[in-house]
Amino acid sequence: MAERRFLCGAFALFAVASLALAGCRDSGKESEHFELSGRLFVFNYRVATVQYLVTLRPLKPVGEGEVAIATFENPDGGEALVVRQQIWPLNDKVTINSPPLECVVKDRPYKVSIRIEDAKGGVMQSLETTMVSAQDQSVLPDKPLVVGPLYEPNPELKGHPGGHLPGGRGVTCPPAA
């Protein structure tokens, strides 16, 4: 009986200590509404594309009409790529994908800026980061390996089982810095 009271008391003390520690946890600045929870380059070998993918985690309840506007450095040297993503209040994360990219270089840092705006267009938060790819885009085939709804082999790649064409992707990339 005494052992049971001891265990109950120990459990109660553990529960109170856990709650106290949770209350002391640093949740960031008051102005932070989101945190960057993931960032990576997505290489899709089957369709010969690479994209930026960034995820955000809400730190506070999300209001109606909030949007994330991501500005990605363009690896081919052109204008920055801008993606506007609606933020839904019931989702536990926000996923932002860029359009397909060209000229991604291994180990080169690329700049990414994300602005969170409220329903009226006011800036709630700004996030800055860099992304680095572990692969060059040269690992991808030059054209999609399959086409159509039945995933038929791409006729443009006939005679090129590795997916690399003599003329390459047909894109001129800036020199690596």
Domains of the chain as residue ranges with CATH: 34-157 (2.60.40.10)
Spatial separation of the C-alpha atoms in residues 16 and 8, rounded to whole Å:
12
Rounded-to-integer distance, Cα 174 and Cα 142, Å: 18
Tokens representing 105 are 């270089």
8 Å CB contact between 56 and 70: no
Q: Span 144-170, mean pLDDT?
A: 91
Better-predicted residue by pLDDT, 50 or 16: 50
What pLDDT, in 10s, does the model give residues 70-126? 999 999 999 999 999 999 999 999 999 999 999 999 999 999 999 999 999 999 999
Which pLDDT score is estimated for 16? 40
- In the chain, % of residues over pLDDT 70: 82
Pick the closest to residue 169 from 9, 50, 22 (CA basis).
Answer: 50
For residue 9, count other CB atoms closer than 10 A to its CB. 10
pLDDT score recorded for residue 29:
59
Tokens of 102: 């060209």
Task: Look up the pTM and report it.
Answer: 0.79
pLDDT at 131 over 50: yes
Q: Measure CA 36 to chain center.
A: 9
* CB of 116 closer than 8 Å to CB of 87: yes
How confident is the model over 121-150, as a mean pLDDT? 95
Instruction: Report which of residues 10 and 167 the model is more confident about.
Output: 167
Instruction: Write the pLDDT tens digit of every residue in 4-28.
Output: 444 444 444 444 444 444 443 344 4
Residue of 133 and 31 predicted with greater confidence: 133
